[in-house]
Chain A
């Protein structure tokens, strides 16, 4: 491995792709709708449901409108990259595979303090929860490591293990820099060259300009559309509108337009959609035309 090249952000992604491909993962692509985390990608949401085994990995650009800091804070951004790995069923070797993947990225683990600190992960909008850890590298959370227990409010069997790497944070360690925008992305180009202007504009938009009125309307419209599509038995189109609901909710939240009393009701509306999508997916898996339509699961012999 050529460490000099692996240090670049784009090489980091390729190193992880190569590593997890070797472990039998299908490398799927980012989903093309805004989402808060890689967990919303259909590969995870639907992939974790049902009995079929699955190994998948992918990058997912993730939107956290409320976390924008106008490009001023090295640890908080309104748009960043997650690298997501799914292993179903969770293998006993998953921990050692994860450690190996960090080494492959060029981290000298013996030089760091590495700890697994309790994190009871929960996504109330997806009706999903699991138990696991924040992985701390020198006290910075660089990965979420979760054994899913429920998705869409449904118990899982077998259990899926989800590993979510914070790519930028890991790159900071590999490149030994403090500034995320100074990270070498590729040859002669930094992460900041690509993302800094958007981070500033994005923060400004999320916090100052996003129309609350329009977003409220959009939320209701996407919700209505998702419901209509569910009735028409169109699973993925319905799910895509759920994703839009979820992002619209996050935008409203960043604008401070969601009061504490509104919050549970918004979340419940999204969760209701998530549950219906999960149920429809499982119904199809059971049915004859199981492999048509929804997320293409990868069978492992």
Chain B
């Protein structure tokens, strides 16, 4: 290890030496050169396609942050990535670093010098880490006592001298979901770094990282025949890549691939299968090649018997090839994007066809095998499938079979709340019963992403109605922007996720920070999205009653779990992608702070109220209502009384008598609007009725009078007016108005 560190240091010293040399060689330059372009190429063994978008994004962000923090100005930066290279171009990076004067606070005076006045380790360490000397320090008194400050005078340093330290730092900052070690410095990266190319203008920048010395060289050629070549300038670098057909820019590469595959599909009288036209496969293929090259072929038409989704999954999973369709029906054809040109493309095509046929034969075997089992037989297999991971404690209760029983029990809540009648209620029950049957099929074991989709096919084959099959098919949604389309599918989607959340919370498996290995955050978001889209009630209390009354998971406290899930779901409302106008956080705060629990019971009702606030934000009606709530809220804040009841016989002032009469007269009509969930009208009415009288009241009537009974009664009147709105709609005192 230490030998290795020495090596690293030496290398860095060499780098710095060159930096100094370059400063000398820079002197004769014309003064007009104030900036140069910078090129950094990190050459690797193939990076995972899924990591590349993140790496590109980070490299852009981190380089800009780093250069700005180091007082280096530049015009803009571009970042590109292929499987074998990550490339950063910084345009017009200033040739000098202009570092302003700096005063950096160090350790306290006491900690900095020992009894004999000598500098302590703490002080020396501080100076070392900040690149300062003892004679650059002074002692400055502050509120927290005397401290040593490092005073750096402004400086001008050639950028070429700083880059050998900055660029390794930059690469070290890049993070991927998984990283590895491969050489003896112990450096970690997504895959091994095999070369580093850096040019600043036309001058190479030397540094050492992960066992590699940067050089003015790059590698080109297909993976099987890599070639090294020297690079003399940044324009020459781009020319070299272009000459061998490397499309460095990922956006251009994606476009090129789209163009190639679409053109080929058209040539054979079709189009690329709609599922493969964007995202997923297209994105992956974009990052699997740097010289995208087309190859098309056919497969056995007998495999068109497979469900469409299975065919597409086979083609995408094993070989990353595109399917072709015509008028919505798949053709026995594929389009592949390969890396560079093969010397014998026909032979390659034959092999790919053969492998595809063998894969599809296996898929067909699975599919036919699965069809020999009835839905009931499949459901029997669910006893052996774990629903709650690694928890022998829950044994039978933790199985998928127990889950489908719970789903059927929970379905009664939605049957009632959504007012489902036969046959809808029976469809929902059966959709619950057979929702997980496909999990024991060989096809889903082979293609886990087809869960639900396969269930739909098996339900159809098993003679279930279209509505049941569709519901099973879409109950894992939402995914991306796809939502369940049917009522029963939406119900099943919500029930499935709700059961998962309560069971997992009950087993104390909860998402923490960024960690969410079981997709619970996604499940909660899913519930909110589906509930909002279908816009039917989601009664928390009724679910809680069912969870606590059926004897499920005897070892868990499901009441407590239900309460935590409710809170968790309500928290999602802050991040929910609301339609415009998007509610600000204070709108969500106001509604969540509004009512006692039993009135915040329906998720969709809560969402309606939030959306209403967002719509009316800064509308005069809401502003008036807010003023009324604010004034009554403020006066009540300091009150010592708990149970406030207006005693009409105690009212004295004609103004307060008038206000009380207004309250009594208007109360019912406002409650009526609330009852009809016409919150906008209720708000309008509340503001109109009370805004004027409340102002007059506060202007002319003293609330906090010495007479306790009188004071108490006036506060009670304030409370009655306030809660008329806040209990049922939103606590507007939380609202932040823009005026």
Contact = CB atoms under 8 A, between A and B. Distances in A.
A113 B342 contact: yes
B224 interface: yes
A115 B392 CA distance: 42
Given A92-B211, A110-B225, A261-B386, A118 B352 contact: no
Interface stretch (A8-16, A130-138, A223-231): A130-138
B64 interface: no
B283 to A, nearest CB: 14
Contacts of B224: 99, 102, 109-110, 112, 114
A301 to B, nearest CB: 18
Interface string A133-174: 100011110000001010000000111010000000000010
Interface in B344-369: 344, 347-348, 351-352, 354-355, 358-359, 361-362, 365
Contact of A259 (B223, B359, B361, B384): B384
B359 A147 contact: no
B336 A139 contact: yes
Contact of A115 (B180, B295, B339): B339
A111 B46 contact: no
Interface in A261-277: 261-262, 264-265
Contacts of A157: 181, 186
Interface residues of A, number: 46
Interface in B200-248: 211, 222-226
B45 A116 contact: yes
B610 to A, nearest CB: 40
Contacts of B83: 116
Nearest to A110: B343
Contact of B344 (A69, A111, A114): A111
A147 B180 contact: yes
Nearest to B295: A113
Given A113-B338, A118-B48, A149-B180, A138 B351 contact: yes
A291 interface: no
B55 to A, nearest CB: 13
A105 B622 CA distance: 80
Interface string B63-103: 00000000000000000000100000000000000000000
A75 interface: yes
Interface string A243-269: 000000000000000011110110000
A137 B223 CA distance: 11
A259 B182 contact: no
Given A139-B319, A265-B392, A110 B223 contact: no
A190 interface: no
Contacts of B348: 111-113, 138
Contacts of B226: 96
Interface in A169-192: 173, 176, 178
Interface residues on B, range: 35 or more
A90 B183 CA distance: 7
A120 B49 CA distance: 12
A90 B389 CA distance: 37
A44 B568 CA distance: 48
Contacts of A73: 358, 361-362
B46, B321, B362: most-surrounded residue (chain A CB, <10 A)? B46
A265 B386 CA distance: 12
Contacts of A139: 318-321, 336, 351-352, 355
Nearest 8 A-B pairs (CB), nearest first?
A: A259-B384, A118-B48, A109-B224, A261-B386, A116-B46, A138-B351, A139-B319, A113-B338
Interface of B: 45-46, 48-50, 83, 178, 180-184, 186, 190-192, 194, 211, 222-226, 288-289, 295, 318-321, 336, 338-340, 342-344, 347-348, 351-352, 354-355, 358-359, 361-362, 365, 383-386, 389-390, 392, 395, 398-399
Given A92-B194, A140-B355, 10 more contacts: A75-B362, A95-B194, A111-B343, A111-B348, A114-B224, A115-B339, A116-B45, A157-B181, A259-B386, A260-B384
30 contacts: A73-B361, A74-B354, A75-B359, A95-B45, A108-B343, A110-B224, A110-B343, A111-B343, A111-B347, A113-B338, A113-B339, A113-B348, A114-B223, A116-B223, A117-B49, A117-B320, A118-B48, A118-B50, A130-B180, A131-B191, A138-B351, A139-B351, A139-B355, A157-B186, A259-B386, A260-B385, A260-B386, A261-B384, A261-B398, A261-B399
